[in-house]
Amino acid sequence: MKKHLSVLFMLMLVGLLTLAACGDDSSDGGSDNDNTDNSSEDNGSDEPVTLTFFSSDGAEKTFDDPVAKKITEATGVYLEMDYPVGGNDEAIPLMIAGGEYPDLIFAKGDLGKLIDAGGVIKLDDMIEERGDNLKALYGDQIDRLRNSVDDPSIYQVGTYGVENQPLETSGTFQIQLEVLRELGYPEIDTLEDFEAALSEYHDMYPEINGQSTIPLSLQGSDWRWLITVGNPAGFAGGFPDDGQWVIDNDTGEATYKFVLDEFRTYFKWLNGMNAKGLLDPESFTQTQETYISKLSTGRVLSVADQDWNIGDARSALIQDGMENRTFAPLPVVLDESKTHQALKDYGFAGGWGIAISSTSEHQEEAFDFLDWMASEEAQILVNWGVEGEHYEVVDGERVMFDEVREKLETDANYSKESGVGYYIYPFPQWGTAAVDSNGQSITRDNKEQVIEGQLAPEKDALAAYGMELWIDWFPAQDELEISNHGAAANFSIPSGSDLQIIQQRADDITEQRITEAILADPAEFDGLWDNMLQELEDAGVEQLNQEMTELTQSVRELWGTN
């Protein structure tokens, strides 16, 4: 008996030792690999450095398309791209909890959390010493990259173009070209005009391609509530896009936007649309897939959405030969007294950008990579693709191959497969007004390109209205003030702060109650709206406004725009 027991103990001991040994083995192996990595760089061999890159807006993709190969060739960097699975916004907190960071992080609004946790490094010195391309890119706007008044360091190199001149709008109401044509290209400036056009066409054609016509469809069942329900209300009210806020450009005073009267007016109109059967009854329950497939059938007359959210539907419509069922943007406002702010110049937005992690073993390579991405050579590559493969130079000007342009227009996956245009966002980026050393536009979206890219029915409509571009329909950029605080959506809000918690509460209330109010009987609308205002007040909306005002003013102080 005793013998057996000791044998058993021996076995257990051996087992435990083996386990422990295995553990050691693996960690040894890991550091061995790292060592070889380092030494290969030191030797200056051709082996590219692999940098891990997490992008909050990323998708599954390997870094092996033609453009990516060129980038690796020029910088010696191979990117291993990671992305949040299933649109999950816990990725950054989980990363912090685990304490393991990728080399490069595009965290969007969560950058503040990374700074709090010490997960990212300050870039000021590196920019000063070796960031010539970045310095040239940001110029005097570089202050906008700074973190806060209390900690005015630079932790990230910003997303979004510097020096922008909008050529397209996005996020406003959009109407089918066919509706405009059928109704003889009417003037549509106000909600009233818009509704009249929709209902007139709906009466004429209750069915399209054998399925019932849907005059207006929204996608309010998930976070897209914000872009298809919340933001269009702000545009109609003549406010620029500051997320959930309306901010006075002179004083920097911020107001949680849904308490304003303009919003009551807008949603009352939407409630009326619903009562008259002009709003898709599935607007708040359908999934994104259902929504896109509905739009792709061509039976939805109008939407209020961002172009990037409905790109798949546009490609499908063009592919099915229904170019006339694609959408044109509308400068619709509540009434004539409002000015549509779609072309507003927010300045360089700052706020969001790519940071380098504190645990990265390749911080310098990562920085040099980001700096190279801001260079002229890189910007032409990411915008236009590879010379001879995607574009050619004719008489000193870049011309995209027809085939490539057509694919970019119609094939939703082409950009991802070829890399053309795929690496512009969220890297440092020249804006639409920027030119290269030959005086040519760096981005593909110059005026000529936009005009060339217009579809035939689009050209007809523009000609009928006597315009060159759709933006000619909107109040011009120089009529609007330049924003002194960029865009509120890019503010970094301290995690776990009252501001964040109360805003989450307020957003939960508004998303629910406004949805309820839209779908309610019109007689009940005002009562429901008043209840919502009361609920917002109870949730502390006044404190919220006050804290946001303070934050806005500190941003203005940091940027020197106060």
Partner 1 sequence: MSKHTTTVTVGGTASKNARKLTVASNRQSFFKRMMSQKMLIAMSLPFVLWLIIFRYIPVVGWLMAFQDYKPQNGFFGNEWVGLKHFRDLFNEPTFFRALENTIGMGVLGLVFTTLAAITFALLLNEMRFLKFKKLTQTISYLPHFVSWVIVANIVTTMLSIEGPINGLLTSIGILDDPINFMAKPGMFWGIVTSAEVWKSTGWNAIIYFAAMAGIDPQLYEAAKVDGASRLRQMWHITLPSIRSVIIVLLILSIGNLINIGFEKQMLLGNNIVMDKAIVIDLYALNYGIGMFRYSFGTAIGIFKSVVSVILILIANGFAKKIGEGRVF
Residues that bind partner 1 (CB under 8 A): 4-5, 8-9, 12, 86, 89-90, 93-94, 96-97, 99, 113, 116-118, 220-222, 225, 281-282, 284-287, 289-290, 495-496, 500-501, 504-505, 508, 511-512, 515-516, 519
Are the C-beta atoms of 329 and 166 separated by less than 8 Å?
no
State in Å, rounded, how far the first CA of the chain is from the last one.
Answer: 86
Q: Is 497 helix (H, G, I), strand (E, B) or coil?
A: coil
Which of 451, 493 has the CB closer to partner 1?
A: 493
Which of 109, 237 has the CB closer to partner 1?
A: 109
Minimum distance from CB of 342 to partner 1 (Å)? 26
- 2-20 CB burial, b ≥16 within 10 A, e <16: eeeeeeeeeeeeeeeeeee
Minimum distance from CB of 505 to partner 1 (Å)? 7
DSSP code per residue over 317-386: HHHTT-GGGSEEE---BSSTT----TT-------S-EEEEBTT-S-HHHHHHHHHHHTSHHHHHHHHH-S
CA distance 517 to 529: 7
What tokens does 317 get?
Answer: 């419509």
Minimum distance from CB of 551 to partner 1 (Å)? 16
Minimum distance from CB of 118 to partner 1 (Å)? 5
Which of 136, 501 has the CB closer to partner 1?
A: 501
Minimum distance from CB of 8 to partner 1 (Å)? 6
What tokens does 460 get?
Answer: 């007809």
Strands 214-217 and 300-304: parallel
Minimum distance from CB of 511 to partner 1 (Å)? 5
Which of 284, 559 has the CB closer to partner 1?
A: 284
- Find, among 273, 254, 155, the residue nearest to 525 by Cα: 273
Minimum distance from CB of 11 to partner 1 (Å)? 10
Which of 473, 529 has the CB closer to partner 1?
A: 529
Minimum distance from CB of 89 to partner 1 (Å)? 6
Which of 212, 337 has the CB closer to partner 1?
A: 212
CA distance 452 to 448: 6
Looking at residue 516, its amino acid is E
Handedness of CA 373, 375, 381, 383 (dihedral sign): positive
φ and ψ of 260, to 5 deg: -80, 155
- 44-83 CB burial, b ≥16 within 10 A, e <16: eeeebbbbbbbbbeeeebebebbbbebbbeebbbbbebbb
Which of 4, 394 has the CB closer to partner 1?
A: 4
Strand (E) or helix (H) holding 212: strand 211-212
Minimum distance from CB of 20 to partner 1 (Å)? 14
CA distance 349 to 490: 7
Residue whose tokens read 């645990």 = 359
Which of 287, 438 has the CB closer to partner 1?
A: 287
CA distances from 557 to 23, 124, 412, 488 (A): 52, 19, 42, 15
Minimum distance from CB of 467 to partner 1 (Å)? 37
A 10 A CB-CB count for 335 gives 13
DSSP 218: -
Which of 8, 21 has the CB closer to partner 1?
A: 8
A 10 A CB-CB count for 230 gives 21
Looking at residue 43, its amino acid is N
Which of 194, 225 has the CB closer to partner 1?
A: 225
CA distances from 244 to 71, 152, 267, 383, 463 (A): 38, 25, 15, 32, 37
Which of 2, 250 has the CB closer to partner 1?
A: 2
Which of 66, 494 has the CB closer to partner 1?
A: 494
Minimum distance from CB of 307 to partner 1 (Å)? 24
Minimum distance from CB of 60 to partner 1 (Å)? 16
